[in-house]
Amino acid sequence: MSREIPVSDLMAVALARTIRDGEVVAQGVDSLLASLAILLARAMHAPSLTWITVAGGVNPDPGTLPDSSTSPAWLQGTRAILGNPEFYRLAMRGGMDRMFLGAAQIDRHLRLNLTVIGDRDRPRVRLPGGGGAAVLAQVIPHVVVWRTRHTPAIFVPEVDFVTAQGNVEAVVTPLGVLRALDGRLVLDARFPGVSPEEIAARTGFPVLPPGPVRVFEPTRDELRILGDLDPGRRRELEFPRAPR
């Protein structure tokens, strides 16, 4: 394997591998890469996962990945539809195992900001908000975060606003995989061609573990099935044109 593997593929595989077979897995709005990771896990190592989409679909077969979170594709093949209250009630009574969340800022205490950049009353950027993340990140035991850029402005020592915190166990970025260890975020794996030093330089707080950091290698099967699931590479939609 070489560094020519597209970063979107590496991230999708890394997200997929966090899923364990049999889990009830959910994703929110605007979550193309997470949805693809769930489909990949279902096709690879977790055939008996239950996928609940924020649109209310249960184990849908979306076919070609749509670019809108409200597309009917997220309900294609579902045999039941959950409204939003049902979605949240299921999570709150402990019925969801894993959730994928995005974040504008992530800090060393694994806290997420999806609300504002800058001061809350005079924000530089007003973000869409966290939806139910403040609750979900504490009632769902396994929370995995992804972000398609990795810069010191995103990985900050302290977030400007704590939208959610709790059960974040991993963060997947274009550079590698970070994991929660004793309440801190620590580099767990780096993508091919990325050095630990580069990751350290692009993170606003220390993340390097004491020893060497393994290189994340997707298998040929994972990459082939990913290609079959998203032949049109819709997954690139989440990636800014700027360098990773």
Partner 1 sequence: MQAASLGIPFLPIRGLRGTDVARAGGFATVRDPYSGEEVYAIPRIRPDWAVLHVHEADEQGNARIYGSPGYDLVMAEAAARVILTAERILPAEEFAAHPELTKVPGIFVSAIVRLPGGAAPGACMPDYDVDAGGIGSYLASAESEADLRLYLERVNP
Residues in the chain, overall count: 244
Residue type, 184: R
Q: What CA–CA distance (Å, rounded) separates 179 from 146? A: 12
Q: What CA–CA distance (Å, rounded) separates 242 from 239? A: 8
Surface-to-core class of residue 228, CB atoms within 10 Å of its CB (0-12 exposed, 13-18 middle, 19+ buried)? exposed
DSSP code of 134?
H
Complex with partner 1: residue 40 or 140, whichever CB lies closer: 140
**Site size for partner 1 (CB under 8 A):** 30
Complex with partner 1: residue 115 or 148, whichever CB lies closer: 115
CA-wise closest residue to 31 among 63, 65, 72? 65
Task: Decide: is 81 part of the binding site for partner 1 (CB under 8 A).
Answer: yes
DSSP code of 180?
E
Sheet-wide strand order for 105-107: 112-113, 105-107, 155-156
CB of 63 vs partner 1, minimal distance in Å = 14
Applying CB under 8 A, which of residues 12, 55, 178, 185 lies at the interface with partner 1?
55
CA-wise closest residue to 127 among 113, 141, 140, 137? 113
Q: What share of the chain is helix, strand, coil (3-state, %, to 5)?
A: 25, 25, 50
Complex with partner 1: residue 117 or 162, whichever CB lies closer: 162
Applying CB under 8 A, which of residues 2, 48, 83, 240 lies at the interface with partner 1?
83
Interface mask (CB under 8 A) for partner 1, residues 155-194, using x and -?
Answer: ------xxxxxx----------------------------
- Span 94-133, contacts to partner 1 by CB under 8 A: 111, 115, 120, 130
Applying CB under 8 A, which of residues 15, 16, 34, 136 lies at the interface with partner 1?
136
CB of 18 vs partner 1, minimal distance in Å = 21
Complex with partner 1: residue 68 or 195, whichever CB lies closer: 68
Complex with partner 1: residue 46 or 116, whichever CB lies closer: 116
Interface ranges with partner 1 (CB under 8 A): 55-56, 66, 68, 70-72, 75, 81-85, 92, 111, 115, 120, 130, 134-139, 161-166
